[in-house]
Amino acid sequence: MHESISDIAHAYQVSARTLRYYEELGMLSPQRLEGKRVYTSREKTRLTLILRGKKYGFTLQQIREMIQLFDQDPTGVQQLEATIKYGQEKIEEMDQRIEELQELRTEMNGWLAKFRDELKSRKRESI
């Protein structure tokens, strides 16, 4: 089934401009029917991959590369290798961010404990 740009934009909760931008980047290639873009299941699959990639923090360049690799190698081996590589890098970034957040949380808890003690002290002094 072929769907229009407005149908796809609504279904995937993105703007038509976003879809046109992905097309400009070569990530989507909708067919043209009577001058209008129509999206096939192939394009919907690509859009799903793009949105999933964005959700996980991949750059548009990385997503485009992964999509193009599948076109170059229909076995999907190169795409999977790139996806694993980028995914591992993303996990390492997340681990680093988690560590930073845990350190920040510990520091903040320390400050809050000091502030609570100071508040108790000031309340006792004001009595």
Q: Whole-model pTM above 0.95?
A: no
Tokens read off for 93: 């970034």
In the structure, what pLDDT confidence band is assigned to residue 59 with cuts at 50, 70 and 90?
Answer: very high
Q: What's the average model confidence in pLDDT over 48-62?
A: 95
Query: Measured between alpha carbons, how far is 22 from 24 in angstroms, rounded to an integer?
Result: 5
Q: What's the average model confidence in pLDDT over 68-80?
A: 88
pLDDT tens-digit readout, 87-120: 999 999 999 999 999 999 999 999 999 999 999 9
Q: What is the DSSP string of 10-75?
A: HHHT--HHHHHHHHHTTS---EEETTEEEE-HHHHHHHHHHHHHHHTT--HHHHHHHHHHHHH-TT
8-13: long-range contacts at Cβ-Cβ below 8 A with a sequence spacing of 24 or more?
Answer: 8/39, 8/43, 8/44, 8/47, 12/47, 12/48, 12/51
Question: Among 20, 25, 8, which Cα is nearest to 65's?
Answer: 25
Q: Residue 1 pLDDT more than 70? A: no
Q: Which residue has the higher pLDDT, 33 or 18?
A: 18
